[in-house]
Homo-oligomer: A and B are copies of this chain.
């Protein structure tokens, strides 16, 4: 077992010490991570943040090398974590962002990488895996656990629901309105096209989705996540 590091590393610490910031809205999770990471002599948790705004402020003040970011989701705002990821990587290009999250979603891994994340680790990882990932990212490399890497590959190769059904962009627009219960007339009005055209698109959508009634299409759309 590694020896415990003191809460404050002495001045003149090893230049290879990695300064880490934790971003997670759950205090207990931050505590747990801090407790784990501080057992490693070369890792130092120098800051924490619980929200997007706090993270942006604190990262500027403390300048960590690594941000350990929980993408959480499933709470109120869908893409807060992704937004933060994008903002951080834009404002601090050298910053190593390592996503540590609960969710392993094929598309999410991709979106995180596109938002500037240099690593993606599911919380299901063990301590050594996490620490290895942190050191990798600190060295400028990327770090993905096996399942995240696989998910990324799948995400790249898995077409979206719309693509799977070969829906055209216009049809996607119509579907999203259709899925909200709008009538053909309403859809036409909303898209500045005639009711006939709306009907034309709806017909194509029904055919492509393999259903015959619009209510059924709404149900399919809700399953496909179009709503």
Q: Which of B29, B179, B183, B217 contacts A123 (CB 8 A)?
A: B29
CB of A160 closer than 8 Å to a CB of B: no
A100 and B31 CA atoms in complex are apart in Å by 14
Copies of the protein in its oligomer: 2
Residues of B near A179 (CB, < 8 A) are 219
- Do A181 and B103 contact each other (CB < 8 Å), given the known contacts A27-B124, A124-B28, A130-B28? no
- Are the C-beta atoms of B26 and A124 separated by less than 8 Å? yes
Residues of B near A180 (CB, < 8 A) are 216, 219
Residues of B near A32 (CB, < 8 A) are 28-29, 31-33, 35-36
Distance (whole angstroms) from the CB of A33 to the closest CB of chain B:
6
Binds B, one of A89-97, A135-143, A148-156, A207-215: A207-215
Q: Place the interface of chain A in its size category.
A: 35 or more
Specify the chain B residue showing the minimal Cβ separation from A123. Answer: B26
Residues of B near A72 (CB, < 8 A) are 102
Residues of B near A126 (CB, < 8 A) are 27-28, 31
CB of A191 closer than 8 Å to a CB of B: no
A130 and B130 CA atoms in complex are apart in Å by 24
Q: Nearest 5 A-B pairs (CB), nearest first?
A: A32-B32, A181-B216, A26-B123, A35-B35, A218-B218
